[in-house]
Amino acid sequence: MEYQNIEVAVNAYVDFVVNDFVEYMNRGPLQNNPVYANEQIVEFKNSVKVKYSSKYVKIVSGGSVTAFIVNVDNDKQFKRGDLLKAAGWSAPARNSARGNVLEGKYSGSWTGPAYLN
C-alpha cells in the first residue's frame, strides 16, 4: 500500500513493528505464559516513540533507536520515506535503504529494519 502522507506511513510502520512483537510473543518463549506475555506486549507498545526532526523521523522502542526514516525531499542519497537502520542514537546508517515507508515496502521485525543481504 502506498501513502501520500509521511505521518500516516510512519504510523503504519509502527503498527508493523508492534504487530511483529505481538506475533513474536505469541509464538516465542512466553507463549505458555499469556499473562506475562500480555504485560510485555503492553510495555513494548508504550515504549515505542516517534520523534520528528528536520531531516529524519526517529523510531525508538525499549529505550533504543531502531530505525530512522528520511523526512526530506532533498537528501543527496535517499528519497523521502526511505527506511534506514540506526548507526547510533542520533544518526542512521547511510549505507543503504531497507525499504520505503511511503511505498509500503520494507522488511524487518520489531527489532528494526532487515539487514542487507
Neighbour count for residue 71 (Cβ, 10 Å)? 19
Has residue 11 been placed in a domain?
A: yes
Q: What is the pLDDT of residue 33?
A: 82
Has residue 61 been placed in a domain?
A: yes
Distance CA 35, CA 71 (A): 38
Sign of CA dihedral 117, 99, 11, 19: negative
In degrees, rounded to 5, the angle at the alpha carbon of residue 69 between the alpha carbons of residues 107 and 106 is 15
Tell me the residue range of the domain where 28 lies: 6-113
Give me the number of domains the chain comprises.
Answer: 1
Q: What is the pLDDT of residue 62?
A: 87
| Amino acid identity, position 54 | S
In the chain, what is the straight-line distance between the N-terminal and C-terminal CA atoms, in Å? 24
pTM: 0.91
Classify burial at 27, counting beta carbons within 10 Å of its beta carbon; exposed 0-12, middle 13-18, buried 19 or more. exposed
Torsion of the alpha carbons at 81, 101, 53 and 4, rounded to the nearest 10: 70
Has residue 20 been placed in a domain?
A: yes
Q: What is the pLDDT of residue 50?
A: 98
Has residue 1 been placed in a domain?
A: no
Q: What is the pLDDT of residues 81-90, one digit of tens each?
A: 999 999 999 9
Has residue 35 been placed in a domain?
A: yes
Classify burial at 43, counting beta carbons within 10 Å of its beta carbon; exposed 0-12, middle 13-18, buried 19 or more. exposed
The residue ranges of the chain whose pLDDT is under 50 are none
